[in-house]
A and B are shown apart, each in its own frame.
Chain A
Amino acid sequence: MALIGPNGCGKSTLLRLVAGLLRPEAGVVELDGVPVSGPDPRVGFVFQEPRLLPWRDAAGNVAYPLELAGWSRPRREDQVRDLLSLVGLREFAGARPHELSGGMRQRVSIARALALGPSVLLLDEPFSALDSLTRERFNSELVNLWDRTATTILLVTHSISEAIFLADRVVVLSPRPGRVVAEVPVELDRIERESNIDMLALGRTAARIRRHLAGATDDPSPAELSAELSRRERARQIPIEELGVPAWFDPFGPEDRS
């Protein structure tokens, strides 16, 4: 299933709600009828950036969630080996993140997300930082992965073609306030999609998604714009902490923001 929509419509927020990283203000997120409360082991999260620990090699990064979950070393090693072969990085187990290409790093992060055998894999624009050639290959690899691991995949994307290629259902979101505008089923089987045989059906699906996206642009209204600007103005005054420099005993600094 793919989520598609312009920036700021809450796609990433939705994913974080599903993952239990954020708590909903109202309503409940349920997986198989069981509500999600707090970060959930049934969910694997692939972030927009690989977010690898730079001081660990590829194997160490994949093993990270297993260590946190208290797996024994031999079990960990077996699992890591399987996962790295799954994403085609077995020979790179000992490579540090800075020695890997962007695409390989993202593969490590996918293997890491799969480490604890989640039933749902959440992908937050996982390939947006990759070049379009690598991206295409990743998309077909992802389909393979989906075939082999029997994991439900929820993908956030900006690309209509990517959504059609990967998903069985495409959910279209509108910006501010984020609403589900439509759910478009992709009625093409895998082989048709890969070979682009049925261009007509493909085009029709794309057109449907596009129609729902119409008007849902990225541009904020004037009111939103001024709100955003004043927010940024405020943000500019405080952010020392975010930059990593602490407001060490600064009596002239701003009051608590915590």
Chain B
Amino acid sequence: MTDARSVAEARAQGRATRAGHHTRVGRWRRTVDVTLAAVVFVALWKLLVVVGGYPVFILPAPEIVAGRFVSAWTDGTLEPHAAQTLLEVALGFTVGASLALVAGYALARSRLMERVLSPYLVAAQATPILALAPLLALWFGSGLLSKVVICALIVFFPVAVATMVGLRSVDRRLVEMARSFRATRWQLLWTLELPAALPGIMGGMRVGVTLAVVGAIIGEWAGGERGLGVLINLARGSLFDIPLLFATLLTIALLGIALYLLVVLVERRIVGVRG
């Protein structure tokens, strides 16, 4: 069985290279790279402050921002705002992505749907969400609902397009194979088209989740009582606490990174290894 042996070897090799990414040395190395880059970034920031001699209300030094970040979290300034924004993002992303999956399927299936709906979709996407936000705040109030709508709207387009592209690009030969085993329309979707389109759909979700954070902040700017966007306005305006402004920006960035990584993690989980 030369066949069997060569495959066993190939598998062993595959396992070795895949394991390589996860060995302690590899992981340590990656941690060092990331940390080093962060250190360089902070050092350049500090250098800029020192050399430029900027006052705190223009560009606070990194240690001041770090201090304010910690104090704002410990004294409970940031937490309720961050929780509010996270809630808006989570709800908006869930609603937007769910609707987008359905719409993407319809667009992939029906030429008529695509022809009729795509101009509106593209137009909605091309109109800056910043310009739409005040209108949506007027319609849906300054509470949670308007933010969820904005998030959903901004998430919708990338996920819908990714779903449509993913479903359309399913290998026709696999579809023929499934048909030869008498797969029904529904079985075809669940057992073949969706799994095949999943990597693309998850790509759309990665884009979508970061945009959802943007949507939430913009929604809060257009009117609201709580949220990181509101806090930015407060810190710049009535509080005039620029280190707090930077600490809020840092929180937003970290929130975006965390959500993005979460999507990537889910993606790894459900897409898995493919050859």
Contact = CB atoms under 8 A, between A and B. Distances in A.
Nearest to B122: A249
A92 B164 contact: no
Interface string A210-252: 0000000000000000000000000000000111111011000
B77 interface: no
B168 A51 contact: no
Interface of A: 19, 21, 38-39, 41, 43, 45, 47, 49, 51, 53-55, 64-65, 67-69, 91-92, 95-101, 103-104, 116, 134, 241-246, 248-249, 256, 258
Chain B interface: which size bin? 35 or more
Contacts of B178: 64, 68
Interface string B221-260: 0000000000000000000000000000000000000000
A45 B173 CA distance: 12
B6 A101 contact: yes
B191 A104 contact: no
Contact of B192 (A19, A53, A101, A246): A53
A101 B1 CA distance: 12
A68 B174 contact: no
Nearest to B118: A249
Contacts, number: 98
A51 B7 contact: no
A244 B271 CA distance: 19
Chain A interface helix/strand/loop/mixed: loop
B118 to A, nearest CB: 4
Contact of B168 (A54, A68, A134, A244): A244
A41 B181 CA distance: 7
Interface in B19-58: none
A65 B192 CA distance: 12
B174 A244 contact: no
B164 A248 contact: yes
Contacts of A97: 275
A258 B3 contact: no
Contacts of A55: 195-196, 271-272, 274
Contacts of A91: 4
A91 B7 CA distance: 11
B173 A95 contact: no
Contacts of B4: 91-92, 104
B138 interface: no
A244 B165 contact: yes
A49 B272 CA distance: 23
B275 A99 contact: yes
A39 B181 contact: yes
Contacts of A256: 111
A245 B183 CA distance: 25
